Amino acid sequence: MTIHLSIVLFLPLASGLVAALLPGRLARSAVLAGPLAVLAYVIVMLFDYESGGGLQWVTNDEWISELGISYKLGVDGLNLFLIALTAIAWVPCTLVAAFSVVERPRLYFFHLALAETAVLGAFMAQDLALFIVFFDLMLVPFYFLIGGWGSGERVRATTKFVIYTLSGSLLMLAAAIALGVLATPDGGEISFALSDLQQRSIAEGSQHWIVLLFALAFFVKAPLFPLHGWVPETYRSTSIPVLALLSGVLSKVGVYGFLRIVLPVMPDGAQYWQELFIIVAVFSILYGSILAFSQDNVRLVLAYSSIAQLGFIVLGIFLFEEKGAQGALFQMLNHGLVTVPLFLILGVIAIRARGSESLSALGGMAFRAPVLAGLFLVISLATLAMPGSGNFIGEMLILFGAFEDNLVYGLVASVGVVLAAVYMIRLYQGTMHGRVGSAVESIDIDRVNLAAIAPLVAVIVALGVYPNFVIDRTEKDVAKNVAAAKRVTNPEVSVIK
């Protein structure tokens, strides 16, 4: 069965437009149809995918030929599971959003759908300019979603969020244009297609600053210390389903960009910054973990936890070898899979605690909510990378890669693993165990949230039982993308199998 990627890409947008025009309850069904259809497509893709077969289901059309920008989409081991993550994550969040009471619901649904298209586009794009178009397009619906449907200090949060991300994006745009121009061989045609850019060589000096600008944009998105200033307010003000997507899926686009664009095209530049970025990543792991268990607001615990987890992922990427990069890619999937249900559960908890999100006021919710407690337990254990979960294998691969590079970095990162146990168990116990909190009304999980969270838990458990499902399909492409950078770091090592 041939799959046309453009259909998969624009299906959510189409369903969003339909939902924006239909009345009330029909709109709800319409907005769910898009993500569900995409999920169905993606499941077919997962089983149809040929491991090691390079880019598949490629769509390659001319778009702006004078500037060398082509409309090129493709799926290979690198983005297969990130597209799957997007598809899997959007369904429960749209479900929860569809059944929650909001003002102007049709516009809300439209923005959610547009966001999915943008994220899918960013993952599928095989042309640098196209990637940047979708990267910046992602910002638009989220700006409205946070600012228009958030709570509390939402306008200030959105402003900070947008300024920060746009500053980074602006720098990235400049870098990308420079890359395209500088990569053009004399007498050749300019092209932004990634496959072309990988073949061409760019002067080392230029690589240094181009990589830095890309990194700034991606570090803001991830986020990593110290560019995470937008995080606390945004996480406090955004509505739950949007926040789940922001933390679970959006954060991955940046780090994916490293693997897809920076490492293969500019290996010398990447190697120049390798040491610094590894230190930033390791520091983020420690900083995020320490702050995570110092927070009273449950959302902020997860916010800083994300900083730590993304630190692990960036660490894995910048080790420039297969195990670390493989672990990082797997962790992108795992982290997204646990973060989305975690935020949905926090939403469930907040409803049962009269809106309170403070750990000191919560507690004992497991009293009459065993199913909720059970699901939350499984997800918490997976988040702290307990062996037996996919997260453990991802982190183990990253740690092993880190130990090979420098034992000290690996040991510091290992401390992060212990700290993760501390903050996740603290979060779980603070909400579910102990005396029933003053504001808490313990009711078990409702059907909508159960339908949203239970399938995610099933996938998490499945990945814990058979993580090789992912590793097998992504191995060759990860190795290929890391190969150039690895050759720069270890010139005497011969080409990998």
Using CB under 8 A as the criterion, which residues of the chain lie in contact with another protein when the complex forms? 159-160, 163-164, 167, 225-230, 232, 287, 290-291, 293-295, 321-323, 326-327, 364, 366-368, 370, 374, 377, 381, 384, 386-388, 392-393, 396-397, 399-400, 403-404, 410-411, 414, 417-418, 421-422, 425-426, 429, 432-436, 466-468, 471-472, 475, 479
- In the complex, least distance from residue 442 CB atom to another protein, rounded to whole angstroms: 10
Distance CA 327, CA 367 (A): 37
Q: List the end-to-end C-alpha distance of the chain, in Å, as a whole number.
A: 30
Q: Which residue from 466, 450, 328, 460 is spatially nearest to 401, judged by alpha carbons?
A: 328
- In the complex, least distance from residue 84 CB atom to another protein, rounded to whole angstroms: 18
CB contact at 8 A, 85 and 129: no
Distance CA 203, CA 99 (A): 54
- Closer by beta carbon to another protein, 156 or else 354: 156
CB contact at 8 A, 9 and 121: yes
- In the complex, least distance from residue 381 CB atom to another protein, rounded to whole angstroms: 6
Q: In angstroms, how far apart are the furthest CA atoms of the chain?
A: 74
* Exposure on the CB side of residue 158, measured as CA atoms within 13 A: 20
- In the complex, least distance from residue 384 CB atom to another protein, rounded to whole angstroms: 8
Q: What is the DSSP string of 154-217?
A: HHHHHHHHHHHHHHHHHHHHHHHHHHHHHHSPTT-----BHHHHHHS---HHHHHHHHHHHHHH
Distance CA 93, CA 344 (A): 8
DSSP-derived 3-state class of residue 318? coil
- Closer by beta carbon to another protein, 200 or else 487: 487
- In the complex, least distance from residue 347 CB atom to another protein, rounded to whole angstroms: 22
- In the complex, least distance from residue 341 CB atom to another protein, rounded to whole angstroms: 18
- Closer by beta carbon to another protein, 287 or else 312: 287
Phi, psi of 150 (to 5 degrees): -90, -160
- Closer by beta carbon to another protein, 172 or else 384: 384
CB contact at 8 A, 157 and 238: yes
- Closer by beta carbon to another protein, 208 or else 368: 368
- Closer by beta carbon to another protein, 261 or else 329: 329
CB contact at 8 A, 173 and 167: no
CB-based burial, 333-345: b 16+ in 10 Å, e otherwise? bbbbbbbbbbbbb
Query: Which regions of 371-460 does DSSP assign to beta strands (E)?
Result: none
- In the complex, least distance from residue 375 CB atom to another protein, rounded to whole angstroms: 12
- In the complex, least distance from residue 243 CB atom to another protein, rounded to whole angstroms: 19
- Closer by beta carbon to another protein, 205 or else 466: 466
Distance CA 259, CA 273 (A): 15
Q: What is the DSSP string of 376-395?
A: HHHHHHHHTT-BTBHHHHHH
- Closer by beta carbon to another protein, 282 or else 366: 366
- In the complex, least distance from residue 448 CB atom to another protein, rounded to whole angstroms: 20
- In the complex, least distance from residue 320 CB atom to another protein, rounded to whole angstroms: 13
- Closer by beta carbon to another protein, 29 or else 414: 414
**Cα 284-88-420 angle, rounded to 5 deg:** 25
The amino acid occupying position 373 is A
- Closer by beta carbon to another protein, 11 or else 463: 463
